[in-house]
Structure 1
């Protein structure tokens, strides 16, 4: 009798569980619909702000949160404008990688400008690249708060051919620097990004439109809350040194590009000024500049270049200045080269079990010395590191 009673109760409970699950699904759908509505309204505000900012030219197309001035002659954007919103702090949307034609410039910027692909019998593709990345002008991570705007950032109208090392290193670091500024100051940033294409620019000969390859790229930035701006013009090639080396006033960028940026927001005096510490906090300078790469002996690299060797099975000599040292809680010895923690660019460590292989490990071993370390560069939390196990891997520079 007791078992029958339990069975009857279960039969009553299961429908109730199913009813509640249906209600939850319904509410989740409603919440998602409301969230999309909020995203749409916020993007409308940003788009209106962009239109009122004094854009570089009058001919452009507008997407959800991005404005593109497309140049038919170069088959890529003349410039792209967007606003980095503080909402990136709570943005939960990641890369979509849904590269596709822009319906507003259909046929002018396409996949075949960057690579070819051939369908195989097993339904897979073989890709034949032309050696350049599809570099975002307005980066997708700047739209992590808005699923529609993020997806639209993969329109080919927002792409430009970038050297792979430049796109993945210096350019990506600059994009991250601007997002960090927004998060640190809790203000929006107006950004205009553009390729600079010289008349004699080389072309991607195998591409369908034979795109000209920009020699340089520019990012021009304005903080309307604090009334200050900065611009960056960077060569489309692997770069050494710090991105701050490429910073300049908006006024100077206007002279180089021929455009007038943020004409409705910034005064001539404001555009002529630029304080580097506003954009690169003092903490990021806690160390020394990397050694000048061309001055190093053949087969030697500086700490900025070390990132390119992460995961390689080849040994390399990485040279720099040891600016701080410490013993970890497990007793291993760590050396920060060129930049101190937490702004490290290259780290070297010796495990406690290997101390006897060195000429006396102590708390200031190699501190303030210019040193070359010989070994394999590995990745730890996305940063280049090297584990050395014997004294022969260390050489002091003259």
Structure 2
């Protein structure tokens, strides 16, 4: 049998293969062109979609969330937030915005160009008022909440959204509170109404740096109020913080919204039904604002000070470095490491954000008739020993079970 393939057949097969390959490439180019068209179409929709989102935010703020207006108050409207400006104190009286799940994907860069707000008829504070003042220009509506829209982001850098905040406050506890709000939005998947402001009163000192143009009051306190009005369980919570160092974790500064009203004189969420408003404004439950996936889910507040004589909570432990002391708190997580041959008990806050932890070395394991890793989890306990500092975190290493007592036993 002649098995040789005629040359013409081979040439025909090669031509067919080239045609098939060319067909695949043509299909690929066609699909890529179609994908490019879709990308352009999506890009063309982004601006009108954002515009409608912002319009909904402003509509819902006006209909559901604005504080009651006092005589002379004028609501200033910006793309993503509303405010009332206090000319007497040269800063916002309050701001209102909605933190939406868009914070998850918003990735616009910071602007850091602060401008006067021309919408405020009396004028706002200026760069000269803050220059060399020693105070940060503290955002009330966080810029990070608006990184999903350029116009809304830019408006957070207007001086109508700025109050003088001490650096140790603005860059620490105030920033932590803003992060806390974004986490509850991110992991809860629902938008949150946010009212923020300084606590203003007559007689506050003013910044007096050389070259200042306005008398900008220095608030002693700031507040932030959250309202979830969309979820299956509507809820509210408030926070009040000192304009300075705040040692305790964010949730320790939680307060009922009605206490914020008493402090500020504002009537918050007056559009709500009176019965519903009263119920929500009496709430103070930080745990209701944590959601699955939140890396801080499970943290609790430190025990309120003062504790019984000779006892300290986990925040106070930092002031006992080098001393033998009894530190009390809730064991919120435990972990055993083979590398260190130890069990770690994290108090009140989860690793690596804990304010205090207890170490039980494996060599001391026989001194316990129970497994501390399992038995002490989610229990309030007191540990006694020398407080030392490791990686800037206070800790006590305990040697036996007599140095660990349940809270109920310790306070008998």
Aligned to 2:260: 253
**What CA deviation, in whole Å up to 9, does each residue of 1:67-106 have, x standing for no partner?**
1211112111111110111222332334333333223248
Is the alpha carbon distance of 1:341 and 1:194 closer, same or farther for their aligned partners in structure 2, counting shifts above 3 Å?
closer
After TM superposition, the structure 1 = structure 2 runs for residues 40-55 of structure 1, keeping only pairs within 5 Å, are 40-53=51-64, 55=66
Aligned to 1:13: none
Aligned to 1:123: none
Is the alpha carbon distance of 1:361 and 1:24 closer, same or farther for their aligned partners in structure 2, counting shifts above 3 Å?
farther
Picking from 254, 262, 277, the partner of 2:285 is: 277
Aligned to 1:374: 388
Q: How many residue pairs get matched?
A: 349
Structure 2 Cα separation of the partners of residues 172 and 296 of structure 1: 34
Aligned to 1:231: 238
Is the alpha carbon distance of 1:251 and 1:98 closer, same or farther for their aligned partners in structure 2, counting shifts above 3 Å?
same
Superposition CA RMSD, Å: 4.5
Picking from 47, 53, 60, the partner of 1:36 is: 47
Q: Does 1:112 align with 2:115?
A: no
Is the alpha carbon distance of 1:304 and 1:115 closer, same or farther for their aligned partners in structure 2, counting shifts above 3 Å?
farther
TM-score, normalization: structure 2?
0.67
Aligned to 2:219: 214
Structure 1 Cα separation of the partners of residues 358 and 259 of structure 2: 43
**Based on CA coordinates, which of the two structures has the bigger radius of gyration?**
2
Aligned to 1:99: 114
Picking from 160, 165, 169, the partner of 1:162 is: 165
Picking from 93, 98, 115, the partner of 1:83 is: 98
Q: Does 1:289 align with 2:302?
A: yes
Does the aligned pair in 2 maintain the 1:337–1:344 contact within 8 Å? Answer: no
Aligned to 2:186: 183
Range that drifts further, 280-289 or 60-69? 280-289
Structure 1 Cα separation of the partners of residues 131 and 309 of structure 2: 36
Is the alpha carbon distance of 1:285 and 1:100 closer, same or farther for their aligned partners in structure 2, counting shifts above 3 Å?
same
Q: Does 1:195 align with 2:198?
A: yes
**What CA deviation, in whole Å up to 9, does each residue of 1:205-240 have, x standing for no partner?**
116123111111122222212433222222222123
Structure 2: gaps spanning 5 or more residues: 1-25, 291-295, 405-409
Structure 1 Cα separation of the partners of residues 50 and 89 of structure 2: 33
Which secondary structure does the structure 1 equivalent of 2:285 belong to? helix
**What CA deviation, in whole Å up to 9, does each residue of 1:366-385 have, x standing for no partner?**
x851455434645xxxxxx5
Which secondary structure does the structure 2 equivalent of 1:87 belong to? helix
Does the aligned pair in 2 maintain the 1:139–1:153 contact within 8 Å? Answer: yes
Structure 1 Cα separation of the partners of residues 343 and 35 of structure 2: 51
**What CA deviation, in whole Å up to 9, does each residue of 1:330-381 have, x standing for no partner?**
446463442253584236698x9xx99x99999859x851455434645xxx
**What CA deviation, in whole Å up to 9, does each residue of 1:169-217 have, x standing for no partner?**
3222222222222233322211111111221212211161231111111
TM-score, normalization: structure 1?
0.69
Is the alpha carbon distance of 1:344 and 1:376 closer, same or farther for their aligned partners in structure 2, counting shifts above 3 Å?
closer
Aligned to 2:271: 264
Does the aligned pair in 2 maintain the 1:284–1:343 contact within 8 Å? Answer: no
Which secondary structure does the structure 2 equivalent of 1:374 belong to? strand
Is the alpha carbon distance of 1:332 and 1:287 closer, same or farther for their aligned partners in structure 2, counting shifts above 3 Å?
farther
Which secondary structure does the structure 2 equivalent of 1:103 belong to? coil
**What CA deviation, in whole Å up to 9, does each residue of 1:257-285 have, x standing for no partner?**
22222222353443344333365558856
Is the alpha carbon distance of 1:110 and 1:251 closer, same or farther for their aligned partners in structure 2, counting shifts above 3 Å?
same
Structure 1: gaps spanning 5 or more residues: 1-15, 117-129, 310-314, 379-384
Aligned to 1:338: 347
Is the alpha carbon distance of 1:27 and 1:155 closer, same or farther for their aligned partners in structure 2, counting shifts above 3 Å?
farther
Structure 1 Cα separation of the partners of residues 234 and 396 of structure 2: 48
